[in-house]
Structure 1
Amino acid sequence: MIVFRYLSREVLVTLSAVSAVLLVIIMSGRFIKYLAQAASGALDPGVLFQIMAFRLPGFLQLILPLGLFLGILLAYGRLYLESEMTVLSATGMSPRRLLGITMVPAALVALLVAWLSLSLAPAGVTRVQQILNQQDALTEFDTLEPGRFQSLRDGTRVTYTERLSEDRVRLGGVFISERKDPTASKQEPQISLLVAEKGRQEMRPDGSRYLILDNGYRYDGLPGHANYRAIKYDTYGVMLPKPDASEDITAREATPTAQLWGSADIADRAELQWRLSLPLLVFVVALLAVPLAKVNPRQGRFLKLLPAILLYMAYLTALIAVRGALEKGRTHMGLWWVHLLFLVIGLAIFYWAPLTHLRAKRRNRLEAEQ
């Protein structure tokens, strides 16, 4: 029991550390993307942390299997390097018993991954879609901040206001720049500038919104050319475009798992198999990691780390590729054969080393007898 607690603690502590590092790296990259959308006005800065929180289960369901794999490699690699595994082997710790002990924390991780993939991740994607739909319903006027240039339409439209009322209805000191299609003829105006003393927002019966500008000028022309046009106006209406808040998620990812059971749709079956594959992935990578973690103290603990990571990436890449083929109807074999293939590879690696060691001992004994 003491050995069981010691090995389990080593694996779980290393798993937590590795998963935390991976989570920070992945979430930092995704947060930068959301932050860029907020800076361009496509997202309300107030919803950034909500989106990240709801996307967290989707990140963890992929990070935890890799974290367990690396955790076993690093934890057991250190034990082999410091000859602790040699001492445990001398006291009766067989490779099968070591694998059995390892499968206990692996089962805990698999249960957590199953909960994430089957329940929390789809629910989180649903909430993210709801937030993004609410953001898509906003207009440029709703995301405008006073004293800041806001770029929309891929940078073809820039809006600025000096003052903005608390109810976000009236503004003062307005500047709007819009660049037209650069492929258009140079005889046509390429840039339109609007400046106004004040403005207000108006809602039309069809649901569209307009910014009504008062007491200003409009300038149309091409930079570097003198043939520009200036128009003074008392009232001018500008239609407010909707920001495009997007995310690389599909509606099927938000479908509850209960609705996927029994579905005849190929894509639904592929999504269901993918969600069920993640917990299975945990057990198979644990089987792969145990023999791969065994290192010679003279070789260092990182000797097998790169080949092991490449094997894991091949496993995950094969699952993703077969999932894509299954969604497109190119195959009907499902994802199970990929798990079976790497299970066989794991068993082969697990039993190959003891067989090799047994053959070497037998050969040495025969040589000694001769």
Structure 2
Amino acid sequence: MRFGLLDRYILKIAAVATVILLVGLTSVIWVTQALREVDLITGKGQTVVIFFTVTLLSLPALIAGIAPVALFMATLYTLNKLNSDSELIVMNATGVAPKRLTRPFLVLTLATAALVGWMSVSVMPAGFRALRDLITMIRADFVANVVKEGQFVALDSGVTFHYRERSGQALLGIFMQDRRDPNQPAIYIAERGQTAEADGNSFLMLEKGTIQRESRDRNSSSIISFERYALNLSALSGDSDGAGGGDGDKVIYKPRERTTWALLTQDKNEPYYKIQEGRFRAELHNRLSAPLYPIAFMLVAFAVLGEARTTRQGRAVAIQLAILLVGAIRIGAYAAWTASVRSGFAVVLLYVLPLVTIAVSASMIAFGARARAVLDRLTDSLAAPFLAISARWRRS
């Protein structure tokens, strides 16, 4: 595909708009998320470097989610600008068909889809995994150096920690309550303990203590005494999906923290997989379908605004229609992702939604005048009630 001066001109406008929107939207959302992590500095005694590292590891997920929307908004902006400056009218008058103008947008869309695919398939799970490991390190440092004598503090949601006093590097009189599983809460009591690192995991080595477990389903309890017990801090996760296990087991990564290859070659006999099979399925297909949405969103914008429009009202209604369509697709995709946790059939919708949108939008662009007539009738019918209300308001 040979690029001419017109293609480069349109591509420059759309690309600059996409980058500005992507950076702007990502920065705003990142700041709001970063403010929620200020407790790392104020409450858990971490450095500014750790604070920024934790918040920056969430950027791949933000970029993967925001990039399709930024591309859609940039496409609307570019087409509206070309139309407002009468450039689309001139192009049409000189015989440039609307579908010919899709070339620069397709180049930008394929680049955006590649970015989203790379983020979703590779970078995002690596970021979540690194974040999990970093939080483990923060938790171990918090237990060893930040928690003060005699205080009851929350290590995670449902996990309360306390120790009586410190003797060198050892903590004396340890008490920990784990209520993450409401049906089987546990209480750990030990005379002393000390944090340690092994195989990339952080452990709290407990000495001379007991573990009391309650089973509320059976209304029973059990007490286990131990001389030495390794409590894996990496397994303490505040999430409610059951990841991480406990009792010193090896840390278990959640579906979003596993590589795409690991999800594709998942061991069906893994106990955690048997419990959370739906989450594994939803996570895998959400990653694989993610690159389709930038293509769908761009084609929706182009199908609605790709041809010259001479009335401002027509453009405004067309833009509103495009926003409604993209919003409906995004909500439908989120609903399909949620439903796919419980139903394997819902996985199909993750692909059907963008593919049907791509097919319909591409057909409207390809058939040109006929599709434009249908779209104009639709926008006119949507605009008619608002125009009637406006006319009545002016007469009154």
Q: Which TM-score tier does this pair reach, normalised by the shorter chain?
A: 0.5 to 0.7
Partner of 1:270: 282
Q: CA deviation at 1:208?
A: 5.3
Q: Which range moves more in the overlay, 75-84 or 311-320?
A: 311-320
Q: Which range moves more in the overlay, 95-104 or 64-73?
A: 95-104
Aligned: 1:71 with 2:83 = no
Selected match of 1:354 from 369, 372, 377: 369
User: Quick one: distance in 1 between partners of 2:66 and 2:289?
Assistant: 14
SS of the equivalent of 1:93 reads coil
* Aligned 8 A contact 2:364 2:372 in 1: no
- Taking a change above 3 Å as real, the CA distance of residues 358 and 274 of structure 1, as seen in their structure-2 partners, is closer
User: Quick one: distance in 1 between partners of 2:371 and 2:69?
Assistant: 29
Partner of 1:326: 340
* Aligned 8 A contact 1:288 1:350 in 2: no
Selected match of 1:96 from 69, 91, 99: 99
Equivalences for 1:51-130 in 2 at 5 Å?
A: 51-130=54-133
Q: Which range moves more in the overlay, 325-334 or 275-284?
A: 325-334
User: Quick one: distance in 2 between partners of 1:261 and 1:81?
Assistant: 48
Aligned: 1:132 with 2:135 = yes
Partner of 2:355: 340
Aligned: 1:280 with 2:292 = yes
Q: Which amino acid aligns with 1:93?
A: V
* Aligned 8 A contact 2:285 2:347 in 1: no
* Aligned 8 A contact 1:74 1:301 in 2: no
Give aligned pairs, total: 292
User: Quick one: distance in 1 between partners of 2:154 and 2:47?
Assistant: 14
User: Quick one: distance in 2 between partners of 1:302 and 1:36?
Assistant: 44
Partner of 2:226: none
Q: CA deviation at 1:44?
A: 5.5
Partner of 2:387: none
Selected match of 2:312 from 289, 298, 318: 298
Aligned-pair identity in percent equals 21
Aligned: 1:7 with 2:21 = no
Q: Which amino acid aligns with 1:308?
A: A
Q: Which range moves more in the overlay, 93-102 or 19-28?
A: 93-102
Q: Which amino acid aligns with 1:337?
A: V
* Aligned 8 A contact 1:8 1:105 in 2: yes
- Taking a change above 3 Å as real, the CA distance of residues 247 and 88 of structure 1, as seen in their structure-2 partners, is farther
Q: TM-score, normalised by structure 1?
A: 0.66
Can you list the C-alpha shifts for 1:328-357, whole angstroms capped at 9, x where unaligned?
A: 126355222222332344246546762166
Q: CA deviation at 1:306?
A: 3.6
Partner of 1:190: none
Partner of 1:212: none
Q: CA deviation at 1:141?
A: 5.9
Q: Which amino acid aligns with 1:130?
A: D
Q: Which range moves more in the overlay, 111-120 or 330-339?
A: 330-339
Q: Which range moves more in the overlay, 250-259 or 37-46?
A: 37-46
Selected match of 2:30 from 5, 27, 46: 27
- Taking a change above 3 Å as real, the CA distance of residues 311 and 134 of structure 1, as seen in their structure-2 partners, is same
Can you list the C-alpha shifts for 1:271-321, whole angstroms capped at 9, x where unaligned?
A: 222112111111111111112235545338655444322321211111111
Q: Once superposed, what is the RMSD of the aligned Cα atoms? A: 4.1
Q: Which amino acid aligns with 2:135?
A: L
- Taking a change above 3 Å as real, the CA distance of residues 120 and 21 of structure 1, as seen in their structure-2 partners, is same
User: Quick one: distance in 1 between partners of 2:23 and 2:239?
Assistant: 24
Partner of 1:213: none
Unaligned ranges ≥5, structure 2: 163-167, 172-191, 196-203, 208-232, 242-252, 269-276, 375-396
Hey, which bits of structure 1, 4+ residues long, moved more than 6 A? 167-170, 247-250
SS of the equivalent of 2:313 reads coil
Q: CA deviation at 1:76?
A: 1.2
Aligned: 1:311 with 2:325 = yes
Can you list the C-alpha shifts for 1:210-263, whole angstroms capped at 9, x where unaligned?
A: xxxxxxxxxxxxxxxxxxxxxxxxxxxxxxxx9x98689981111111122255
* Aligned 8 A contact 1:57 1:124 in 2: yes
- Taking a change above 3 Å as real, the CA distance of residues 168 and 336 of structure 1, as seen in their structure-2 partners, is same
Can you list the C-alpha shifts for 1:92-137, whole angstroms capped at 9, x where unaligned?
A: 2211111233111111111111111111111111100111122222
Aligned: 1:289 with 2:330 = no
User: Quick one: distance in 2 between partners of 1:142 and 1:204?
Assistant: 11
Q: Which amino acid aligns with 2:326?
A: Y
- Taking a change above 3 Å as real, the CA distance of residues 329 and 75 of structure 1, as seen in their structure-2 partners, is same
* Aligned 8 A contact 1:64 1:113 in 2: yes
User: Quick one: distance in 2 between partners of 1:100 and 1:25?
Assistant: 31
SS of the equivalent of 1:329 reads coil
Can you list the C-alpha shifts for 1:27-52, whole angstroms capped at 9, x where unaligned?
A: 01110111135423286544111112
Partner of 1:219: none
